[in-house]
Amino acid sequence: MEGGIGRRSLGRGAALGAAAAAATVAGGSGAARAAGGDLSRQDPVEVVVELGTSDGRQAFEPRQLRFETGRLYRLVQRNRSPHPHYFTSEGLAASVWTRKAQVVQRRDGHAETLAEFKGAIREIEVYPGHEAEWRFVPVATGRFADLRCDIRAEDGKTHAEHGMRGEIVIA
Ligand SMILES: [Cu+2]
């Protein structure tokens, strides 16, 4: 796939191109050069976020997630809590090009990919004891305080109202 991120297959090539150009002007991280101009072929930077805590607290840990434009990320969403949780941020969803999302199962220390999803992702729900991965390249900077889980707890309040909120920063 010469010539970088394919405009045909992505449909967001213009936005990604603009972000890549901005990164180049700013000096960039060298990630794009290392990937030979194809931003989707970098080694992903792993970021792990816990959805809920093992003692049942409704929270994202860490509460703030930071990314840089032009880098490929592997955002691991891990749910070790007894409840299902959403990872919802319209701001993040609108600011990234998604390479794929994956369902990963860990058993006896081995990680097995059960499914992959290609195309734009809006939100992800992870069930208790499981994890998902979202691979994306941020294409626009921004600060979004809209990370939340809208699942309703037994008391009628959402997990977000119980404190399951967070912030995304794309620099
Ligand atoms: Cu939740």
Q: Decide if 104 contacts 79 (C-beta within 8 A).
A: no
Residue 32 — pLDDT band, cuts 50, 70, 90? low
Residues 6+ apart with CB under 8 A from 60: 49, 50, 51, 87, 147, 149, 164, 165, 166
CB 138 within 8 A of CB 39: no
Rounded distance from Cα 51 to ligand 1 centre (Å): 7
pLDDT band at residue 86, thresholds of 50, 70 and 90?
Answer: very high
Q: 1: CA distance to ligand 1 center in Å?
A: 39
Please tell us whether the domain made up of 42-170 is placed in CATH 2.60.40.420: yes
User: Would you state the torsion angle of the CA atoms of residues 96, 97, 102, 106, taken in this order, to the nearest 10 degrees?
Assistant: -50
Q: pLDDT of 151-171, one tens digit each?
A: 999 999 999 999 999 999 999
- In total, the chain counts a number of residues equal to 171
Taking 50 as the threshold, does the pLDDT of residue 8 lie above it?
Answer: no
pLDDT reported for residue 29: 54
- Global pTM reads 0.79
Q: Ligand 1 centre and the CA of 36: distance in Å?
A: 39
pLDDT in tens, 109-121: 888 899 999 999 9
Q: How far is the CA of 106 from the centre of ligand 1 (A)?
A: 21
- Domain ranges, ordered by start, for the chain: 42-170
Could you tell me the two tokens for 171? 């620099």
